[in-house]
Amino acid sequence: MGITKNHIFDDYQNETALITKVLGHPARISILQYISKNEYCNCNELVKATGLAQPTVSQHLSEIKRINLLKQKHQGKNTFYAIDVDLWNQYRRKINDFFVKVQVNCQSKS
């Protein structure tokens, strides 16, 4: 695998790329959709809902947590997850802003 050159890109580019990378897997989309409908669910619930193996769900949850998109609540040995709605909205605005700016740039060439 090649060496990443993230240092040659600005913070906006790196953060936008990381957000879209995390959201760029259908299993993570499925997990986020389930969590959005069933606030504070645990890994076992996500395994049943997605049909994925527990280690696979845990790995995808770790990827989602890399961008701090999940809030966690601990009850005994169980961890329950919910979407951090404030951060979700911040990321949504950032990605929307990216799409709008690219579209405007493309239209200005016409």
Q: What percent of the chain has pLDDT over 90?
A: 89
Domain 9-108 has CATH 1.10.760.10: no
In the predicted model, is pLDDT for residue 110 greater than 70?
A: no
Q: What is the mean pLDDT of the chain?
A: 94
pLDDT at site 76: 95
How far, in Å, CA of 110 to CA of 104, rounded?
Answer: 10
pTM of the entire predicted model: 0.88
In the predicted model, is pLDDT for residue 3 greater than 90?
A: no
The percent of the chain in helix, strand and coil, each rounded to the nearest 5, is: 65, 15, 20
In the predicted model, is pLDDT for residue 2 greater than 60?
A: no
Pairing of strands 70-75, 78-83: antiparallel
pLDDT at site 1: 52
pLDDT at site 93: 97
pLDDT digits (tens, 9 = 90+) for 54-105: 999 999 999 999 999 999 999 999 999 999 999 999 999 999 999 999 999 9
Task: Pull the structure tokens for residue 90.
Answer: 């911040």
Q: Kindly list the domain boundaries of the chain, sorted by start residue.
A: 9-108
In the predicted model, is pLDDT for residue 53 greater than 60?
A: yes
- How many Cβ atoms sit within 10 Å of the Cβ of residue 67? 16
> Which residue shows structure tokens 């709605």?
85
